[in-house]
Structure 1
Amino acid sequence: MAFLQVQLPFSVFLFFSISVLVSSARIRRYTPPSVTHLTDLFPHIPVSDGYSNFFGETNIQLTGNGSMATLTLDKSSGSGLASKNKYQYGFFSAAIKLPSGLSSGVVVAFYLSNADVFPHNHDEIDIELLGHDKRNDWVFQTNVYANGSVSTGREEKFYLWFDPTAEHHHYIILWNSHHIVFLVDNVPVREFPRNNAVFPLKPMSVYATIWDGSQWATHGGKYPVNYRNAPFIASFSEMEMSGCVSNQKAAGPDGVSCSKNNPSNLDPVEGQEFATLSKQQVTAMDWARSKLMVYSYCKDTSRFKVMPPECK
């Protein structure tokens, strides 16, 4: 559709120009420190091989011979994929391109959960990308909780140092018996050690979804999804899932049995190179947290009258 040629008052033009500048300024265009590209160490799994439709089937399209998926949110439904296997630890990555335009209230998520098996005491490890306000701004939120409701969650939020709508970027979860690490484009932004009071231990499925988070995603619902801007389309590619595939039928005394699913020669579950962060990774994580963090549950005194023990 061609744009109408109309003469706008200069004040309107000035307001529009300033708004665009402010919007652009919200994307922190930093150059991150150099890090090892963990995503280069593990093979890509075609979406069609590793995932099944979870919900909103009509809003899911596979392209590239099943190597890429587009998930759509419109007025009729969101959409999502669920892994065909459940995992007890592993390395999970997705290259995601977020919806362009004004996307307040839209949530694009890449996460692990066992709510289908343990509805009242489930575990979850979340990456949630939140269309955050009226300025086309996206927030990267991480969360961990175990054996309970979302009220026990451990949220942290970050701005990104790039435009996540311009191209695909890697969003990564490393989960093993030592720690959980969240990474963006291989840069660690958060480490959650095993000695925390809340740590997921039960097998989980991997999910990729887009849905309407109007009630909470933007300052408690201040900016709900505006479906005049729909459809909202997220693209997922370069999916990686390597680790410990849960085999409940062969479970031992602890209730868990795993078959290793590591097509590479590196093991993210037991490999010593994944037990701790390298000095290079620690430096990169310190950089991300100092420049980009905008919320941590450990500083939320209105929510926690007594801070969780790991915050001390």
Structure 2
Amino acid sequence: MIMGCSVLGFSVALLLVGSVCSSKFDELFQPYWANDHFVYEGEQLKMKLDNYSVSNPSYPMCTNGTSGAGFSSKRKYMFGKVTTQIKLVEGDSAGTVTAYYMSSEGPKHHEFDFEFLGNTTGEPYLVQTNVYVNGVGNREQRLNLWFDPTKDFHSYTILWNQRQVVFIVDDTPIRVHSNLEHKGIPFPKDQPMGVFSSIWNADDWATQGGRVKTDWTHAPFVASYQGFKIDACECPTTVAATENARRCSSGAEKRFWWDEPMMSELSVHQSHQLLWVRANHMVYDYCVDTTRFPVTPEECLHHRHH
């Protein structure tokens, strides 16, 4: 089918095979945790965090006696682009985390995270990104946004192909994780991933290193969502991962937009945007944290300004 989608600011109409492009929550997603903490208002979805519900025992991040909520995609994907518009918790959001991420399953899983770390009223939200490859994470970067993410909806996007993973806020790339397999560094390209979001209490670490705790008098804490879009290669659960990797990669018989040359790296303009973000808004980068990493992680030596 021919389908036009906006990618990293480019508007392209390319031949897509086996991909999905939709915007309805109930077509793409389903609640997987605390269904009673969901509110549907037309095209908007709201998830709330309070301290009145027992935690979900199957969700290890939330075993502290409070309850948030979470949703997951109905299907898994390999390569493409996922976008959701989110309006974060208003007012005093200290201690709360709203996460939007892609993840595969198992101890050797891959994962791409947006984590929005709440703060006291008037203090900026921090956005933490993280990348797990083969179950290894601890690759955090944190930055302040150049707008108030609680006042309006903004788009948060993960673009994933065989060359790079790009985290994008509105149309601005804020992080690139490049394929450095030629340097012996593993890259996530062999496991189908689901798309998830959740809101939960993490006041042991989320706000100012855990110094500021959640003030439950301000509960419920509400994150709002709209504009759900998944333009990616859908992976049937009955198909082996290696076969999905082949199906979702361009070959002689088909061409996916995410394998086009223009998608293999940032444009000059996008590279300048990323440099601007790093220079003006980044507050933490694991690559320069010599306390946690006395030996610089190998990918940091090759990623240059990424």
- The answer to whether the superposition gives a TM-score over 0.5 is yes
Name the structure 1 match of 2:199: 210
- Does 2:258 correspond to 1:269? yes
1:71 to 36, 39, 47: 47
SS at 2:129 equivalent = strand
Name the structure 2 match of 1:199: 187
SS at 2:283 equivalent = strand
- 1:113-262 aligned within 5 A: 113-114=103-104, 117-118=105-106, 120-133=107-120, 135-149=122-136, 152-195=137-180, 197-201=185-189, 202-251=191-240, 253=242, 256=245, 258=247
Greater CA deviation, 188-197 or 277-286?
188-197
In percent, how many aligned pairs have the same letter? 35
> How far is the alpha carbon of 1:290 from its aligned partner?
0.8
1:60 to 17, 30, 38: 38
Greater CA deviation, 134-143 or 70-79?
134-143
The question of whether the paired residues in 2 share the 8 Å contact of 1:45 and 1:240 is answered with yes
Measure the CA separation in 1 of the matches of 2:168 and 2:230. 15
Q: What is the CA RMSD across the aligned residues, in angstroms?
A: 2.4
Q: What amino acid is the match of 1:122? A: H
Measure the CA separation in 1 of the matches of 2:174 and 2:244. 32
Name the TM-score, length of structure 2 as normaliser: 0.80
- Does 2:86 correspond to 1:96? yes
Measure the CA separation in 1 of the matches of 2:122 and 2:159. 31
> How far is the alpha carbon of 1:289 from its aligned partner?
1.1
> How far is the alpha carbon of 1:36 from its aligned partner?
5.8
Name the structure 1 match of 2:57: none
1:50 to 15, 28, 36: 28
The question of whether the paired residues in 1 share the 8 Å contact of 2:22 and 2:28 is answered with no
The question of whether the paired residues in 2 share the 8 Å contact of 1:248 and 1:256 is answered with no
Name the structure 1 match of 2:70: 80
The CA deviation string for residues 195-231 of structure 1, in whole angstroms up to 9 with x for no partner, is 1635323111000111111122123311121111111
> How far is the alpha carbon of 1:100 from its aligned partner?
0.7
- Unaligned ranges ≥5, structure 1: 1-34, 261-265
SS at 1:101 equivalent = coil
1:112 to 96, 102, 106: 102
Q: What amino acid is the match of 2:98? A: V
Measure the CA separation in 1 of the matches of 2:11 and 2:200. 26
> How far is the alpha carbon of 1:247 from its aligned partner?
2.2
Shift of the 136–44 alpha-carbon distance from structure 1 to 2, 3 Å rule, reads farther
Measure the CA separation in 2 of the matches of 1:176 and 1:259. 10
Q: Tell me which structure has the larger Cα radius of gyration.
A: 1
> How far is the alpha carbon of 1:273 from its aligned partner?
2.5
Shift of the 224–252 alpha-carbon distance from structure 1 to 2, 3 Å rule, reads closer
Measure the CA separation in 2 of the matches of 1:40 and 1:222. 47
- Say how many residue pairs are matched: 266
Measure the CA separation in 2 of the matches of 1:160 and 1:40. 28
Name the structure 2 match of 1:305: 294
Name the TM-score, length of structure 1 as normaliser: 0.79
> How far is the alpha carbon of 1:104 from its aligned partner?
0.7
> How far is the alpha carbon of 1:103 from its aligned partner?
0.5
Measure the CA separation in 1 of the matches of 2:86 and 2:257. 22
Measure the CA separation in 1 of the matches of 2:12 and 2:200. 30
Q: What amino acid is the match of 1:219? A: Q
